[in-house]
Amino acid sequence: MEGEELRSTVVTVYQNGKKLGSFRGDETAFVPEGELEFRSKLRGTSKPLSVTETFKEGDVKTIAFDAGIEVHLTVIAKGTANGVLLRGKPATELWQDGKRVHKINSTSGGLVTPGAYTLRIDDRLNLYETNITVTREANQVLEIDVPAGGLTLIYKDASGQELTPERVFITPATTKRRQVRSSNQQLILMPGTYRISGFPKDRGFPETEIQVTAGAEQTIILQATK
């Protein structure tokens, strides 16, 4: 909460880049004269903080760290075709001016600073970006409809009998990033062209090129030739 006093767990003191020692945030410590840097991370905040103070003999000072304002943001991104969640791996990212500013858990969210961002969700198969604004509200849930298609892949043997779920290889034409997914599961895919390769290769599953359209679902049969 804005203006709330937060307790620091441990404060570490540096002088000329050299660590001098540490003390608890609720303790009084004796420090040498000169310019000192105090580093800490406050409970309820996401980022390390630093304060520089100059001391001379007899000085008594209170070190106050300004944590700024942080709010908790959770992002729920779902494909428009099938409602499958799109989760960034390893995290959902917030960017400003071409730089990554925050990383938050793709399920539980995390602490961020209010402001305007480019939201970036990359699950190594899909890459989705959109502009968002984070307000000063303490807890925010951002629900996003991702313009994406739905795809289900099913394996069948040469006689047409459905096979048990197995890995499948999917390669987007735009990124060439080949990824492994599982058959018999609904997948979320951004619109575009994809190449599908079956497993194991010696079963003779033909490579298939598909087109994915936002809002549309499709089922592709991968039938063995051997």
Q: Is 203 helix (H, G, I), strand (E, B) or coil?
A: helix
In tens, the pLDDT along 4-24 reads 555 667 899 999 999 999 998
104, with CB counted inside 10 A (0-12, 13-18, 19+), is: buried
d(CA 119, CA 114): 13
Predicted TM-score of the model (pTM): 0.74
Rounded to whole angstroms, the Cα distance separating 36 from 84 reads: 52
pLDDT digits (tens, 9 = 90+) for 81-99: 989 999 999 899 999 999 9
Pairing of strands 34-42, 8-15: antiparallel
**Residue whose pair of structure tokens reads 């494909």 in the numeric block:** 79
**Separation CA 73–CA 30 (nearest Å):** 39
